[in-house]
Each structure stands twice: as C-alpha cells, then as structure tokens.
Amino acid sequence: MTLRVASDRTSTTDAGETEASPVSGRIGRSSTVASSDVSPHPAPVSAGHLWLAVFMGAILIALIGTWLVWFSAYIGRAMSQEEVRAACQHAMPDSADRCFDTVVIQRGGTRR
C-alpha cells in the first residue's frame, strides 16, 4: 500500500498522472511514501531523558505555584490597604494619610 502526497495544490489521478488544480495553474511534483516506512510506535525514551523531563516539570510547577502564592499575597495586601485607607478617610478625612500610616505600623507593616 502506498500513499500519494501531492504538493502545490495538485491532484493525482487513478492512472498516476499529476494534474494542476485550476487555482494554482502549476504542475507540482508528487511523492510516494510506503506504509512500511512509517513506524506505528514512537522511538523509546531513555531513562535519563525521562528523569530530566520529570525534573523540569517539577521545577516548572514549583515556579508557577510560587508565583501564584506571591500574586495572591500581593492582591490581598493591596485590598487590605484599600479597606484601611477607605476607613481612615471615613473616620478622619482631614488626616487620612496619618491614620493610614498609624494603622499600617500597628499591624506590623513598614512606613511608606
């Protein structure tokens, strides 16, 4: 059994002739590939390559997990600061910045 592959928009007739499609206007080359040349099974993978892939996957997962933890902490901190700033603005509109700094320092944060 052979497979016929035609290139450049050509088709192969039953007689084995190559015809150009009306769109391309060119006659291309066709090649044949025997089905015995195509392996149904992939090449075996060595143990070293398998361990390398597992190691690289673990590192990638660790990096993504670390980034997600950092990003969630960053978002949580930003939302907390927004709530404190809104509460300070409501309670002490004239000195909201001083109130915010005091609350942040009391919670163990650093001064701006």
CA distance from start to end of the chain:
76
- Residue labelled with tokens 């149904």: 40
Indicate the pTM of the whole model.
0.48
Quote the pLDDT of residue 83.
Answer: 92
Answer whether residue 72 shows pLDDT above 60.
yes
- Residue labelled with tokens 């990638």: 60
Measured torsion, CA atoms of residues 97, 103, 108, 112, in degrees rounded to the nearest 10:
0
Quote the pLDDT of residue 45.
Answer: 79
pLDDT tens sequence across 19-65: 555 555 555 555 565 556 666 777 787 888 999 999 999 999 999 99
